[in-house]
A and B are shown apart, each in its own frame.
Chain A
Amino acid sequence: MDLKDIFFKIIIIIFAIFYFLYALVIAKQVKTMDKILQDKYNQLILLVTSMQVTVSLIILIMVLLSIIII
């Protein structure tokens, strides 16, 4: 593995971790806002936010697995 590959992997790990944390913060905030204002599209908003957290978790797991396997 050359230096370019190592650098690339470090970057994607950092990005995946930060993206997962960001998705968690957004989800927490959306839950809070859902309590503050109950509107008819809130369920859709909560669903999409949950999907964002799921995707961010999948990305993080995939990135970590690719590092371990390769």
Chain B
Amino acid sequence: MENNNKKNSVFYSYCLNPQVKFDTQEDSEKVYLLLRSHPFTQIGWILSSIFFFVLLFVLNLFLQSFLDSGQILIINLFFIVFILSYIWFNILSWYFNVGVITNKRVIDIDLHAVIYKEISDAQLGKIEDITVKSGGYLQSLFDYGSIFIQTAGAAVNIEFNNVPHPSDAVQVINNLLGKKHGS
């Protein structure tokens, strides 16, 4: 872990030894790594937001012919509020979808569409297999990919999608596993 030179990088989506806490954290539990989706994977909604602003501009050209100025002002206000809410919604989805790796377990916190949350965790001792999936031009270029953690028995499998530096993250987990099995 100490050899991992990517301390805090890629717009706060790969944080080594972050100052975070979570509600089920035990007293002796230390967070080693916090992962979020790579910022590049957020490009879809960023482009959509820009498109909506352009659409609003174009819409204004047509609205002038059949609505009065007061109504156009209200439509603009509502449209801008809608776009800003859409941006904020996506930022929240990105910010609260995290993978947390501690010295005791691996936790996956998901916030689907902001209103559905799912929290799953696996003890380090129950991890059987870790797979990194990173393929394609963009994933290779920006160094991001998905990590699949298989656990023993009926324990839930953990999945971190589109996280930066997946190989380094797996190295962190393997180091923790080594320490755990070594102790």
Interface residues in chain A, defined as those with a beta carbon under 8 Å from any beta carbon in chain B: 8, 12, 15, 19, 22-23, 25-26, 29-30, 32-33, 35-41, 45, 48-49, 52, 55-56, 59
Which B residues lie within 8 Å of A59 (CB)? 77-78, 81
Chain A binding surface SS class: helix
User: When A26-B92, A36-B119, A37-B109 are in contact, do A15 and B78 touch as well, CB less than 8 Å?
Assistant: yes
Which B residues lie within 8 Å of A26 (CB)? 88-89, 92, 114
A8 to B: closest C-beta gap in Å: 6
User: When A22-B85, A48-B88, A55-B81 are in contact, do A29 and B114 touch as well, CB less than 8 Å?
Assistant: yes
Which A residues lie within 8 Å of B18 (CB)? 39
Q: Which residue of A lies closest to B78 (CB)?
A: A15
B161 to A: closest C-beta gap in Å: 17
Q: Is B92 touching A38 in the complex (CB atoms < 8 A)?
A: no
User: When A29-B115, A45-B92 are in contact, do A37 and B20 touch as well, CB less than 8 Å?
Assistant: yes
In chain B, positions 70-96 with a C-beta closer than 8 Å to chain A are: 71, 74, 77-78, 81, 85, 88-89, 92, 95-96
